[in-house]
Amino acid sequence: MPKRTRIIKQSDRKKAWARRRTSSKPYVLESKEQAKIFLIICEGENTEPTYFKSFPLGNATIESYGLGSSKTALVKQILQVLESEANAKQKEVWVVFDFDIHPEQVAKQKEDYNNAIALAEKNGLKVAYSNDSFELWLLLHYQPLDTHWTRHNYYQKLSELWNCNYEKEGKKVEFCRSIYRRLIEDKAANQEEAIAHAKKLYEAHKDKNPADKNPCTLIHQLVQELNKYL
Protein backbone atom coordinates (compact mmCIF):
# COMPACT_ATOMS: atom_id res chain seq x y z
CA MET A 1 0.00 0.00 0.00
CA PRO A 2 1.56 3.33 -0.95
CA LYS A 3 2.54 5.70 1.84
CA ARG A 4 -0.03 8.40 2.42
CA THR A 5 1.20 11.95 2.12
CA ARG A 6 -0.44 15.10 3.32
CA ILE A 7 -1.24 17.57 0.57
CA ILE A 8 -0.50 21.20 1.50
CA LYS A 9 -2.57 23.81 -0.24
CA GLN A 10 -0.68 26.39 -2.28
CA SER A 11 -2.12 29.18 -0.14
CA ASP A 12 -0.75 27.51 3.03
CA ARG A 13 2.80 26.91 1.84
CA LYS A 14 4.16 30.13 3.33
CA LYS A 15 2.80 29.45 6.79
CA ALA A 16 5.31 28.54 9.50
CA TRP A 17 3.96 25.02 10.12
CA ALA A 18 4.04 24.28 6.40
CA ARG A 19 7.59 25.57 5.95
CA ARG A 20 8.75 23.19 8.67
CA ARG A 21 7.05 20.27 6.93
CA THR A 22 8.32 21.01 3.45
CA SER A 23 11.82 22.08 4.33
CA SER A 24 14.44 19.59 3.16
CA LYS A 25 17.32 21.19 5.10
CA PRO A 26 18.33 19.29 8.24
CA TYR A 27 18.94 21.04 11.52
CA VAL A 28 22.60 21.88 11.99
CA LEU A 29 24.07 21.87 15.49
CA GLU A 30 26.93 24.33 15.63
CA SER A 31 29.77 23.56 17.99
CA LYS A 32 32.61 25.82 19.01
CA GLU A 33 35.95 24.39 19.99
CA GLN A 34 36.72 25.08 23.62
CA ALA A 35 39.56 27.55 24.07
CA LYS A 36 42.78 26.13 25.38
CA ILE A 37 43.97 27.68 28.63
CA PHE A 38 47.66 28.06 29.37
CA LEU A 39 48.42 28.73 33.01
CA ILE A 40 51.96 30.12 33.02
CA ILE A 41 53.32 30.83 36.48
CA CYS A 42 56.59 32.71 36.56
CA GLU A 43 59.12 33.42 39.24
CA GLY A 44 59.74 36.88 37.78
CA GLU A 45 57.10 39.56 38.21
CA ASN A 46 57.45 41.57 34.98
CA THR A 47 59.64 40.30 32.15
CA GLU A 48 58.42 36.73 31.68
CA PRO A 49 54.69 37.20 32.47
CA THR A 50 54.44 40.26 30.23
CA TYR A 51 56.35 38.57 27.40
CA PHE A 52 54.01 35.58 27.33
CA LYS A 53 50.89 37.71 27.59
CA SER A 54 52.08 39.56 24.47
CA PHE A 55 51.54 36.52 22.24
CA PRO A 56 48.56 37.33 19.96
CA LEU A 57 46.67 34.11 20.56
CA GLY A 58 43.47 33.09 18.84
CA ASN A 59 41.55 30.22 20.41
CA ALA A 60 43.68 30.14 23.55
CA THR A 61 44.15 32.25 26.65
CA ILE A 62 47.03 32.88 29.02
CA GLU A 63 46.86 33.32 32.75
CA SER A 64 50.38 34.40 33.56
CA TYR A 65 51.62 35.97 36.75
CA GLY A 66 54.83 36.30 38.69
CA LEU A 67 55.44 34.72 42.07
CA GLY A 68 58.77 35.70 43.55
CA SER A 69 59.92 32.74 45.60
CA SER A 70 62.51 29.98 45.80
CA LYS A 71 62.10 27.47 42.98
CA THR A 72 60.85 24.58 45.13
CA ALA A 73 58.58 26.85 47.17
CA LEU A 74 57.17 28.22 43.91
CA VAL A 75 56.27 24.74 42.63
CA LYS A 76 54.70 23.77 45.97
CA GLN A 77 52.65 26.95 45.93
CA ILE A 78 51.43 26.20 42.42
CA LEU A 79 50.40 22.67 43.40
CA GLN A 80 48.40 24.06 46.32
CA VAL A 81 46.63 26.55 44.05
CA LEU A 82 45.75 23.83 41.52
CA GLU A 83 44.26 21.62 44.24
CA SER A 84 41.69 24.31 45.01
CA GLU A 85 40.77 25.06 41.36
CA ALA A 86 37.77 23.21 39.99
CA ASN A 87 38.92 23.51 36.37
CA ALA A 88 42.63 22.93 36.97
CA LYS A 89 42.65 19.79 34.81
CA GLN A 90 41.51 21.84 31.82
CA LYS A 91 44.64 23.97 31.90
CA GLU A 92 48.09 23.31 30.50
CA VAL A 93 50.30 24.43 33.36
CA TRP A 94 53.80 25.75 32.82
CA VAL A 95 56.29 26.89 35.44
CA VAL A 96 58.91 29.43 34.36
CA PHE A 97 62.00 30.25 36.39
CA ASP A 98 65.73 30.99 36.09
CA PHE A 99 68.81 29.81 37.92
CA ASP A 100 70.17 33.35 38.50
CA ILE A 101 73.56 32.50 39.98
CA HIS A 102 74.48 33.94 43.35
CA PRO A 103 78.17 32.97 43.81
CA GLU A 104 77.97 32.83 47.60
CA GLN A 105 75.19 30.20 47.62
CA VAL A 106 75.58 28.17 44.43
CA ALA A 107 75.45 24.76 46.14
CA LYS A 108 72.16 25.58 47.86
CA GLN A 109 70.79 27.05 44.62
CA LYS A 110 71.61 23.92 42.65
CA GLU A 111 69.77 21.70 45.11
CA ASP A 112 66.72 23.97 45.09
CA TYR A 113 66.73 24.24 41.28
CA ASN A 114 67.00 20.49 40.65
CA ASN A 115 64.42 19.64 43.33
CA ALA A 116 61.92 22.14 41.93
CA ILE A 117 62.15 20.72 38.42
CA ALA A 118 61.84 17.13 39.67
CA LEU A 119 58.82 18.02 41.84
CA ALA A 120 57.08 19.82 38.98
CA GLU A 121 57.62 17.01 36.48
CA LYS A 122 56.53 14.39 39.02
CA ASN A 123 53.19 16.21 39.35
CA GLY A 124 52.62 16.65 35.63
CA LEU A 125 53.67 20.30 35.36
CA LYS A 126 55.71 21.48 32.39
CA VAL A 127 58.85 23.45 33.22
CA ALA A 128 60.43 26.13 31.01
CA TYR A 129 63.60 26.83 32.94
CA SER A 130 66.60 28.95 31.96
CA ASN A 131 70.17 28.71 33.15
CA ASP A 132 71.37 31.26 33.88
CA SER A 133 68.49 33.62 33.01
CA PHE A 134 65.47 34.18 30.78
CA GLU A 135 67.45 36.76 28.83
CA LEU A 136 69.39 33.88 27.25
CA TRP A 137 66.23 33.12 25.25
CA LEU A 138 66.08 36.73 24.04
CA LEU A 139 69.71 36.73 22.91
CA LEU A 140 69.31 33.45 21.03
CA HIS A 141 67.13 35.38 18.57
CA TYR A 142 70.31 37.14 17.44
CA GLN A 143 73.09 34.59 17.76
CA PRO A 144 74.04 31.16 19.07
CA LEU A 145 75.60 31.15 22.52
CA ASP A 146 77.61 28.49 24.31
CA THR A 147 79.39 30.62 26.93
CA HIS A 148 78.85 30.11 30.66
CA TRP A 149 77.31 33.53 31.34
CA THR A 150 75.40 35.13 34.21
CA ARG A 151 72.41 37.40 33.82
CA HIS A 152 74.65 40.48 33.99
CA ASN A 153 76.44 39.39 30.82
CA TYR A 154 73.08 38.99 29.08
CA TYR A 155 71.96 42.41 30.28
CA GLN A 156 75.09 44.01 28.84
CA LYS A 157 74.65 42.31 25.45
CA LEU A 158 70.96 43.25 25.22
CA SER A 159 71.85 46.85 26.10
CA GLU A 160 74.17 46.92 23.08
CA LEU A 161 71.63 45.33 20.75
CA TRP A 162 68.71 47.48 21.84
CA ASN A 163 70.60 50.70 22.53
CA CYS A 164 69.39 50.95 26.12
CA ASN A 165 70.42 50.24 29.69
CA TYR A 166 68.69 46.89 29.96
CA GLU A 167 69.57 46.32 33.60
CA LYS A 168 67.91 49.63 34.50
CA GLU A 169 65.06 49.77 31.96
CA GLY A 170 64.48 46.15 30.95
CA LYS A 171 62.48 45.14 34.02
CA LYS A 172 59.98 47.99 33.81
CA VAL A 173 56.48 46.96 32.74
CA GLU A 174 56.30 49.29 29.74
CA PHE A 175 59.60 48.01 28.38
CA CYS A 176 58.57 44.40 28.98
CA ARG A 177 55.43 44.97 26.92
CA SER A 178 57.60 45.85 23.93
CA ILE A 179 59.89 42.80 24.03
CA TYR A 180 57.74 40.37 22.02
CA ARG A 181 57.00 42.96 19.33
CA ARG A 182 60.64 44.05 19.27
CA LEU A 183 61.83 40.51 18.60
CA ILE A 184 59.22 39.95 15.87
CA GLU A 185 59.82 43.25 14.07
CA ASP A 186 63.62 43.44 14.37
CA LYS A 187 65.10 42.14 11.11
CA ALA A 188 68.23 41.09 12.99
CA ALA A 189 66.21 38.81 15.29
CA ASN A 190 64.77 35.44 14.26
CA GLN A 191 62.53 33.27 16.43
CA GLU A 192 63.01 30.14 14.34
CA GLU A 193 66.76 30.44 14.74
CA ALA A 194 66.32 31.06 18.48
CA ILE A 195 64.40 27.78 18.73
CA ALA A 196 67.11 25.97 16.78
CA HIS A 197 69.85 27.47 18.99
CA ALA A 198 67.95 26.51 22.16
CA LYS A 199 67.46 22.93 20.95
CA LYS A 200 71.16 22.63 20.19
CA LEU A 201 72.10 23.85 23.67
CA TYR A 202 69.70 21.44 25.34
CA GLU A 203 71.08 18.54 23.31
CA ALA A 204 74.63 19.49 24.26
CA HIS A 205 73.77 19.35 27.99
CA LYS A 206 71.19 16.55 27.97
CA ASP A 207 73.20 14.23 30.25
CA LYS A 208 73.64 16.83 33.02
CA ASN A 209 71.44 17.86 35.92
CA PRO A 210 69.41 21.01 35.11
CA ALA A 211 71.51 23.13 37.50
CA ASP A 212 74.65 22.18 35.58
CA LYS A 213 73.19 22.98 32.17
CA ASN A 214 74.64 26.40 31.43
CA PRO A 215 73.81 27.90 29.04
CA CYS A 216 70.45 26.22 28.54
CA THR A 217 66.80 27.22 28.25
CA LEU A 218 63.52 25.40 27.64
CA ILE A 219 61.56 28.56 26.89
CA HIS A 220 61.47 27.48 23.26
CA GLN A 221 59.26 24.51 24.16
CA LEU A 222 56.61 26.78 25.63
CA VAL A 223 56.94 29.24 22.73
CA GLN A 224 56.38 26.42 20.25
CA GLU A 225 53.16 25.44 22.04
CA LEU A 226 51.89 29.02 22.09
CA ASN A 227 52.74 29.46 18.41
CA LYS A 228 50.18 26.77 17.53
CA TYR A 229 47.43 29.17 18.62
CA LEU A 230 48.60 32.41 17.05
User: pLDDT (tens digit, 9 = 90+) per residue, 75-117?
Assistant: 998 998 898 877 778 889 999 999 988 888 889 999 999 999 9
pLDDT in tens, 146-178: 999 989 999 999 999 999 999 999 989 999 999
User: Are the beta carbons of 42 and 64 closer than 8 angstroms?
Assistant: yes
Number of helices followed by number of strands (H, E) in the chain: 10, 5
User: Are the beta carbons of 134 and 98 closer than 8 angstroms?
Assistant: yes
Bond into 49 cis (ω within 30):
no
Give the pLDDT of residue 1. Answer: 52
Q: Is the pTM of this model over 0.85?
A: no
Mean of the per-residue pLDDT values of the chain: 86
∠ CA 119-120-121, nearest 5°, is 95
Give the pLDDT of residue 23. Answer: 47
Phi-psi category of 144—alpha, beta or left, where left has phi over 0 and alpha has psi -120 to 50?
Answer: beta
Q: Which of 68, 124, 69, 67 is nearest to 93 (CA)?
A: 124
Decide which of 35 and 187 is more confident.
187
